[in-house]
């Protein structure tokens, strides 16, 4: 199934991709597409983390959602989705809501890369801290709600972000904790009208953010 991938990057680099383990925290609009990019690129060992069930409001933007699986665990549905693409993929499911008290549940597992696709500020901060401590490469998605233009997404160090309230909080955490390491993030400079209540969203920006996260990891694997 990976003949065309091997034709593009060569068998040695493809084998390197298959040897790595990636963890994805959050299987929503960003995380579901990040998993898609990883699995179709040849990642054969993946850890998926989410506590939530599929809701009808997820149908407009989350890859694995449809009318038949509303109410089911996202990790279970994602596992089936992955197996239908690559039955030999090794999948570890962690069905918990990560917080600062249980985050070691994830870091008991061994992995090479982490995609942070969650929306909890404190968890994002803890993931950065633990990845630095454990020498795990991380890329984090910043805010993708209230955005319409995926072409305004880019990958950069967290310190170079702007026009993103979520990224502003992470920048403060980085500064306050005197973190010197490069922290790659996907973020958008796009500014839209203010809103009240639930964050509005369409599929395009979260989907592309997830694919950019997975692309960043695949390129890092084959270029190192």
**Mean pLDDT of the 196-220 span:** 96
Does position 195 have pLDDT exceeding 90, yes or no? no
Q: Could you identify the residue written with the tokens 């270029």? A: 223
Contact partners, residue 83, CB within 8 Å, separation at least 6 = 89, 91
Query: What are the residue ranges of helices labelled H in 72-139?
Result: 74-85, 104-107, 121-133
pLDDT digits (tens, 9 = 90+) for 75-106: 999 999 999 999 999 999 999 999 999 999 99
Q: Which of 1-5, 39-43, 197-201 has the lowest mean pLDDT?
A: 197-201
In this predicted structure, the answer to whether residue 193 has a pLDDT above a threshold of 90 is no
Q: Are strands 153-157 and 113-116 parallel, antiparallel or unpaired?
A: unpaired
Q: Give burial (CB, 10 Å; 0-12/13-18/19+) of 111.
A: buried
Nearest to 71 by CA among 85, 58, 86: 58
Check residue 197 and give its pLDDT: 87
- What pTM was computed for the model? 0.97
Rounded CA Rg of the chain: 17
Which residues are CB-neighbours of 10 under 8 A, at least 6 positions away?
none
Is 78 in a helix, a strand, or coil? helix
* Band of residue 211 on the pLDDT scale cut at 50, 70, 90: very high
Backbone phi, psi, residue 179, to 5°: -80, 125
Mean pLDDT, the chain, integer: 97
């Amino acid at each position: 199934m990976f003949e065309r991938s091997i034709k593009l990057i060569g068998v040695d680099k493809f084998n390197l991709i298959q040897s790595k383990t990636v963890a994805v925290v959050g299987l929503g609009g960003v995380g579901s597409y990040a998993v898609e990019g990883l699995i179709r690129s040849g990642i054969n060992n993946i850890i998926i983390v989410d506590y939530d069930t599929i809701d009808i409001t997820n149908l407009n933007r989350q890859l694995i959602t449809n009318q038949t699986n509303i109410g089911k665990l996202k990790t279970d549905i994602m596992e089936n989705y992955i197996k239908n693409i690559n039955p030999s993929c090794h999948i570890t499911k962690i069905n918990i809501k990560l917080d600062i008290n249980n985050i070691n549940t994830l870091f008991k597992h061994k992995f090479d890369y982490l995609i942070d696709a969650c929306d909890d500020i404190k968890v994002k901060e803890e993931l950065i801290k633990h990845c630095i401590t454990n020498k795990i490469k991380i890329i984090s998605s910043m805010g993708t709600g209230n955005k319409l233009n995926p072409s305004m997404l880019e990958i950069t160090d967290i310190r170079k972000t702007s026009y993103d309230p979520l990224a502003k909080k992470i920048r403060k955490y980085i500064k306050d904790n005197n973190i010197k390491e490069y922290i790659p993030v996907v973020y958008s400079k796009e500014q839209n009208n203010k809103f009240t209540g639930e964050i509005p969203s369409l599929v395009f920006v979260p989907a592309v953010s997830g694919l950019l996260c997975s692309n960043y990891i695949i390129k890092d694997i084959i270029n190192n």
